[in-house]
Structure 1
Amino acid sequence: MMGTDMKIDKKKATAPLRWQRRLLALGVLAGTLGAQTAAAADDWLTKDWEVSGYLREYLSWNLENPTLIGPDGQQRDDYRYSLSMARTVGKLDLYRDFGNWRMKITGRVSRESPTSYGKDLQEVMDEWAATGGASGSSVNLRDDVYDDEELREFWIQGDVTDTTNLKIGRQQVVWGETDFFQLLDVVHGYDFRWRSFLEPENEELRKPLNMVNITQRFDQLDASLQAIYIPGQLNDHEDRGNSYDVEGGRWANNPNKGITFASAPFGANVRYNYDHPGADMDDDSYGLRWNGLLGDWGYSLGWFHGPNPNPVVNPNPATNPGQPQLQTGPYEGVYQGGATEAGEFIYPYIDVFGVTANNYFAGPDLVFSTELAYIPNAPYNVGIESIAEGPGCGFFPGFCGIREKNLFRSMFRIDKQLDLQSYLGTSRPSFFTVQLFNNWITNFDKEEQLVNLAGFGGATKEFSSIATAVLATNYANDQINPSLAVGSDLTYGGGFVIPAVELAYGDHVRVRFEADVFFHRTDQEKPLQGFNDTNLFGYFSGNDQLLARLTYQF
């Protein structure tokens, strides 16, 4: 318990430091703003701020009974058709144009109302923690996960020269050609804990960062070069990398609802470590992106150095006896978590090299896009079996260590306007897009037993692919807008179907209804046992739901 207590104290001790870093970042930004606007005091007094934003209410209901099993091994209730989310969000945007310089400030506040299903999740979580979980590591879902106040944007942007643009402050930078899965869009992490990957506007899930963003135009080449610099010490650790529901909430991977990884019982708990030498969130990140035109083709070349988008588990060799034989790279022999913990979540720093291209072809009347990314030394957890299930080496599958593999990722997409007025009675042509995502581990070795996600026994294959398609239609002059999104895991099985309709009332009111339905080949039925070859869509088993979203935008 000594190692655990030391880790908790360290986390508490760093909280004031994070606020100091935020204040320092805001001080730097304010100083820059003051220097630039001192000479434009008249503009400040005579030009108005543009105010916009929204008020939004989310309601979701379970369409099937999610697995919620307590320490007694019994399913708690039948939660089919139970209200799973009642979330209220307010967002305010302030924008001002000073002529050569512009400024934007965005804040967002989110609050969740209690539901009976949410109360049962919390109750089961407390029961699991009481059966041997680490002391002081319990989570209150509403206070610690769902409710938040965020400064989403706070930047100033302007032209330093006729061809050089500077944007400094808290912002979002979007790279790549796709909205579904991250290939080159790795500058920011995403918060998938309250809504998973389903939110149609992914900027609502993306985590903003304090950074310096410079773009140099080369007009004679029809190109530009963008350079970004992200100071690690001026950003909160939690703002880096993707955040998944490891707190046991409504989007925890099946069957882990009600179980917090940080307070799992029997010494099997796993916590985040943001200070690991190979994954230190205080380290800086940076990247370059060349964007241009070559004939009819738009293209870009990019490189980014920063945290791996997804966390991996660095196992504790004291509780995972096979770990030292399989660990490779900068993680070998470096474990900093509690002595009795099963491991620690870390975000190793990686390099991502990528190319994008797009073109419009008049003959078939379509737009073709592609995105290619190469990631040398991408981290994977290893170990198909756990000690409990066979001759494994750890508490759970994947807890045998980390292997670094060379990963090549690709995306190919076709966008096309379909004239369906005579078939569906739409008011204008419909938008259709289809995408194919591929992963290729170029130095694959089956004997290494790579897993797709630590804690699940689904073995990673050398080649894997996912196909997605979206059809968006419009009726009544865009007042009624149905859509259908589908996806299929061509390698591991399963997929999703998401029918939706968005209704527009005037300039201010938007109502969206959506059903999220998942299919899977294999899923895991009981927490902390019965490990099998569950993969991506098996994680979403029991999460079929109906969503209603009401927005008043101003």
Structure 2
Amino acid sequence: MMGTKMKRDNKNSTSIHRPWQRGLLASAVLAASVSVPQIASAEEDWLTKDWEVSGYIRQYLSWNLENPTLIGPDGEQRDDYRYDLSMARTVGKLDLYRDFGNWRTKITGRISRESPTDYGKDLQDVMDEWAATGGAAGSSVNLRDDVYDDEELREFWVQGDLTDSTNIKVGRQQVVWGETDFFQLLDVVHGYDFRWRSFLEPENEELRKPLNMVNLTQQFYDLDGSLQVLYIPGKLNDGEDRGNSYDVEGGRWANNPNKGITFASAPFGANVKYNYDHPDADMDDDSFGLRWSGLAGDWGYSVGWFRGPNPNPVVNPNPATNPGQPQLQTGPYEGVYEGGATEAGEFIYPFIDVFGVTANNYFAGPDLVFSTELAYIPNAPYNVGIESIAEGPGCGFFPGFCGIEEKKLFRSMFRIDKQLDLQDVLGTSRPSFFTVQLFNNWITDYEKEEQLVNLAGFGGETEEFSSIITAVLATNYANDQINPSLAIGSDLTYGGGFVIPAVELAYGDHIRVRLEADIFFHEKDQERPLQGFNDTNLFGYFSGNDQLLARLTYQF
């Protein structure tokens, strides 16, 4: 769930909010896309000489393959949106890179703009209706202006060699840890923005939130390893740039059935807002990371530790708006509520410690690569309470609003990558890539009576052990001009899964077309907003979100 973008001027922010800055970045992206040859040939221009210029112009279009739940305050479903256009998004990205020898620098800017669709207009209209029934004053959201349209400085760093064995990289950047591309185990340095595309974008760097940081790497050649040290100053990064952002604004990727309802302006005093200054979740606090990477025989491995915000926000409920019901568990945050007096609670990102190990190796006999990722979190926050006041002996407006418990969580991932010779079977032009990944969660101090929930606002109870398996097959035809793929996943504990068939078409050096269908399966879902809570879990949140996507990219 969770995530909001607060557009504000901040002297420490690297997002571009002022009108002249937006215009400058837009002009730069446009100029680069139409006049790269002129820039490259301007040898007499000292400012542009020797800069490497690249980027893309990209158009997204998506259509609903089923009818999303969109219910207004009158309790009626608004129209049938099956096959309606759900997204028309245009993105421009510009990369400037220059190598000065021992020092290098890179600047990346990205602009995103959405065109109105009939479905999007109805989402906005229903949201305005819900806010008018009793939502908090001043908390309404304009989906296009506040969520989807964006201009951002994605990278702005300088990197260089302090010594023959010491490298430093300072500025706005992305750091990728771990061995997996799907779910976050050790890749917790950054949050992700899942509001406009959920987890489906194939390039993680498009969803990952960059941060201003100091990134130091010390090589130890005699030990076949290196030590990476990260320092992320909290006050030099905006609060909304930390942790994962989910669609709680009621947009097209809001968890079913909450489309058209923003948590910040939910009616009847049930609204929930973000608090980036909570004493145990203060985004002004600094974050730190250490990671040793090395070789042990044929094995590549890493050992790491990171302290920073929990990737997913949890709800810190307001005791004043939960009268007359005994709280099941209040946890370590009892009495530390910082939000407004009339709100049901606040979204916070408690700081956690993540300890992890990764390993990988190639085995010549079966001709495959095995990799694993193990993470231990001694203070993982969970919301508690599987029932709401309206549904039973609950203690809050929604499931999970009984408080927060910190649990000892062990997470693991095991992966096999293999090249499959399917040329005689499928007629591919070269061997195909196949990968399968198994993800596991184990709460080592699990107690069923605590009633942990997987997501606040939904009644799905967390199990002591849970697993998800995913697999991807990527094939190639016509000398890599036609590249079909199939991704599947299954929730082995809570039920449901996904199937994503896709094809990527390459035309020369510049044009790429991706066609993709996103199809979800679930065992249970919630049919009515703000009522009828049941044990809905991960893939039930995506009910009604089956879609077809077309993505056209011109890269330069």
Q: TM-score interval w.r.t. the shorter chain?
A: over 0.9
Equivalent residue number for residue 37 of structure 2: none
Deviation at 1:320, TM superposition (A): 1.9
| Residues 324 and 333, structure 1, Cα contact 8 Å, conserved in 2 | no
The letter for the 2-side match of 1:346 is: I
SS of structure 1 residue aligned to 2:320: coil
Change over 3 Å in CA distance of 1:90–1:46 after alignment to 2: closer
Give, in angstroms, the shift of residue 22 of structure 1.
4.5
Which residue of structure 1 lines up, in the alignment, with residue 484 of structure 2? 482
Please point out which of 5, 11, 19 is paired with 2:11.
Answer: 19
Structure 2 unpaired stretches of 5+ = 16-43
Could you list the runs of 4 or more consecutive aligned residues of structure 1 that deviate by over 4 angstroms after TM superposition? Answer: 20-23, 42-47, 322-325
Matched, 1:259 2:261: yes
Pick from 428, 448, 466 the counterpart of residue 464 of structure 1. 466
**Which residue of structure 2 aligns with residue 3 of structure 1?**
none
Q: Does 1:288 align with 2:280?
A: no
Amino acid in the other structure paired with 2:267: P
Q: 1:168 aligns with which of 164, 170, 195?
A: 170
Work out the CA distance in 1 between the residues paired with 2:527 and 2:287. 40
What SS does the corresponding residue of 1:456 show, helix, strand or coil? coil
- Structure 2 equivalent of residue 214 of structure 1: 216
Aligned length: 523
What amino acid is the match of 1:418? Answer: L
Query: How do 1:154-165 residues align onto structure 2 when only pairs under 5 Å count?
Result: 154-165=156-167
Summarize the alignment of residues 76-155 of structure 1 with structure 2, pairs less than 5 Å apart: 76-155=78-157
Residue 147 of structure 1 deviates from its aligned partner by: 0.1
- Give the percent of matched residue pairs that are identical in Structure 1 and Structure 2: 87
2:417 aligns to what? Answer: 415
In structure 2, relative to structure 1, the CA distance for the partners of 1:166 and 1:126 (3 Å cut) is same
Q: Partner residue of 2:331? A: 328
Amino acid at match of 1:424: L
Partner of 1:188: 190
Find the aligned partners of 2:289 and 2:513 in 1 and give their Cα distance. Answer: 39
CA contact (8 A) 1:68 1:75 kept: yes
Aligned to 2:29: none
Q: Hey, what's the Cα distance between the residues in 2 that align with 1:198 and 1:123?
A: 27
Q: 1:249 aligns with which of 233, 246, 251?
A: 251
Which residue number corresponds to residue 496 of structure 1?
498
The root-mean-square deviation of aligned C-alpha atoms, in Å, is: 1.5
Q: CA deviation at 1:327?
A: 1.4
Structure 2 CA distance for aligned equivalents of residues 534 and 442 of structure 1: 23
Query: What CA deviation, in whole Å up to 9, does each residue of 1:72-131 have, x standing for no partner?
Result: 000000000000000000000000000000000000000000000000000000000000
CA–CA distance in 2 between the matches of 1:213 and 1:325? 43
Distance 1:237 1:407 in 2: 25
Contact 1:303–1:351 (8 Å) recurs in 2: yes
- Residues 1:228 and 2:220 are matched in the alignment: no
Deviations 1:245-289 (A, max 9, x none): 000000000000000000000000000000000000000001000
- For 1:452, the aligned partner's letter is N
Deviation at 1:325, TM superposition (A): 5.4
Q: Distance in 2 between matches of 1:70 and 1:323?
A: 32
Aligned pair in 2 of structure 1 residues 20, 410: CA closer, same or farther (>3 Å)? closer
Distance 1:138 1:323, change over 3 A: farther
**Contact 1:323–1:399 (CA<8 Å) still a contact in 2?**
no
Q: Which ranges in structure 1 are unaligned for 5 or more consecutive residues? A: 1-10, 24-41
Instruction: Give me the whole-angstrom Cα distance separating, in 1, the residues matched to 2:547 and 2:176.
Output: 29
**Pairing 1:58–2:40 present:** no
Whether contact under 8 Å (1:323, 1:394) holds in the other structure is no
Give the Å deviation of 1:15.
4.0
Q: CA deviation at 1:19?
A: 2.8
Amino acid at match of 1:134: A
Q: Is the 8 A contact 1:369 1:412 kept in 2?
A: yes
Q: 1:319 deviation in Å? A: 1.0
> Partner of 2:341 in structure 1?
339
Does the 8 Å contact 2:12/2:237 carry over to 1? no
Whole-angstrom CA distance in 2 between matches of 1:208 and 1:313: 24
CA distance in 2, matches of 1:325, 1:505: 59
